[in-house]
Amino acid sequence: MRMYFSSIRILIAVGFIVFVVGSVMAFQSTAAKSTMNQSHTNSLNYPENEHGQTYGSAQEDNSADMLPDLIHAGSVNGIQGYLLKKDYLGEPGDVPLYDVDGKTVIGTFHVGAKNMNFPKNKHGQTYGSSADAASPGMEPELIRAIGVDGTAGYVLKKDLDDELPKSPEEAIAIQNSRSPDGRDIPLYDVNGESVIGVFHVD
């Protein structure tokens, strides 16, 4: 009889341990699922519109799941314009530009390729279209352009980008020294050396 009670106690203890472990595992599983199902929760705490969509600006280092549902892309007639996340992450091309409500189309926007790996010429310079760059800082070194005579070629990014002034006085001096008619820069072959024409910068 003693052996019987001792076996029952062991059985009850094992049952209790199994129950506790099972409960903890079920709780963790439920908590993990609820965390995964929170589509609008992110560390940037974007605001939500009346339809529950998050909206805001995309940062270059944001992963796709950290982006808001509506991504700011500019404005049309003073109205802020947003792209749907699926359009922003989709194929390059023209997509609708929405009001913050995510329903009203206010225009169109051209989405370029993201994180473009531009090809390199024999000198190691990247080349391609600036429209394919995710941001101005990611443009290739040689940017596709059409010269004044219709010749297709490339301009050096550094020729397009003016050096930033170091003071307001220097900025005014640079502005005053510019010709109102713009300036001409060399148009290169893809090798970045052979000048094949002229490109006019306004």
Tens-digit pLDDT profile for residues 82-136: 999 888 887 778 889 999 999 999 988 887 766 567 889 999 999 988 777 766 6
pLDDT at 39 > cutoff 50: no
| Mean pLDDT, all residues of the chain | 78
CA dihedral 158, 160, 166, 169 (to 10 degrees): 150
Integer-rounded Cα radius of gyration of the chain = 29
Q: Tell me the pLDDT band of 4, cut-offs 50, 70 and 90.
A: low
Per-residue pLDDT, averaged over 15-26, amounts to 69
Tokens of 108: 């169109």
Adjacency order of strands within the sheet including 127-128: 127-128, 142-146, 152-156, 183-188, 195-201
pTM for this prediction:
0.43
Distance CA 18, CA 53 (A): 43
